[in-house]
Amino acid sequence: GKLPDGYHQIKSLVLKIPLFDIIEIDEGKGIYLTERVREENNTVKKALDLFLKEINVKKEFSVKIIKNIPIGSGLGGGSSDAASVLKALNSIFGYPLSLEDLLNIGAEIGSDVPLFIREENLLLIENKGEKVMPIYVKDREFFIAVVFPGFRISTSRVYSLVDEYSYFNTSTDTVLDRLISNEDFLSYLKNDLEKFAIKLNPGLVKFKEELKGFNPDALVLSGSGSSYALFFKNPQSLFLLEKSLKNSPLQVFLFHVLGWEKIYRIDRQTKE
């Protein structure tokens, strides 16, 4: 449902993966991106402005962003870049702000920013997304393929389709319970935003059907789309997927989860 300020109330488990943009901060003025992105420009500029205002410093910085995270993919590129800028500035100025201060500034920039300020990988986010709780459970080993179809989906447009009276039979609590009790959780993974993302872009249906052909143990839309995450218990299926999609226009990112804080990118498409 909707909160009084117009934001939607959410409850979600998030697993962060090692997929990064490259950010360079220097003295000067301006924000430069390898791709023209208004939304990203805004989140990074907000991070700069709010941080400097908080520490009461008037100074200009130039920020250069080399994009590796696809835009409009549901992988949190803009939010993670804003969080990274906040943490970098805090380091540059000798850590004048506490973690709590950074989380508060992050929540002003965007509801997904605080989760990227936290260092932990497995997190429970609630309310607008600004309530972030690290989850400490027994490590699991599995494999993830994240596949970006090449078309973008706007997070704000997906949420605009969510009626304030929508009822979600969320699986978050079930997944959390199974993680705590060390039971299989993959088959319970679900994303309630998927049906709204499909309304916005019906092409997701065909894309998902193609991915089902790789027989993942779980197949879940990432964020508000357009990427899907495929979860595998063994690496054979993962590398079969990589081989099959090698010459396709799809972007594929592969990860080996050895533990919640031990996640490694293993695809052979990594650019030098």
91 domain-assigned:
yes
pLDDT tens by residue, 183-210: 999 999 999 999 999 999 999 999 999 9
pLDDT at 271: 44
Q: Average pLDDT for residues 68-77, to the nearest whole number?
A: 92
Per-residue pLDDT tens for 30-61? 777 666 555 556 899 899 999 999 999 998 88
The reply to whether 9 falls in a domain is no
| The model's pTM | 0.90
- Residue 13 domain flag: no
Q: Are residues 110 and 168 in the same domain?
A: no
- Shared domain for 140 and 258, answered yes or no, is yes
Q: Are residues 168 and 258 in the same domain?
A: yes
Residue 128 lies in a domain: no
Q: Is residue 271 part of a domain?
A: no
The domain total for the chain is 2
What single string gives the DSSP state of each residue in the chain?
A: -B-TTSPBPEEEEEE--S---EEEEEESSEEEESS--HHHHHHHHHHHHHHHHHTT----EEEEEE--SPTTSSS-HHHHHHHHHHHHHHHHTTS-S-HHHHHHHHHHH-TTHHHHHSS-SEEEEEETTTEEEE-------EEEEEEE-S----HHHHHHTS-TT------HHHHHHHHHTT---GGG---TTHHHHHHH-THHHHHHHHHHTT--SEEEE-TTSS-EEEEESSHHHHHHHHHHTTTSSSEEEEEEEEETTEEEE--TT---
Give the range of the structural domain holding residue 85, as residue numbers without chain letter: 18-120
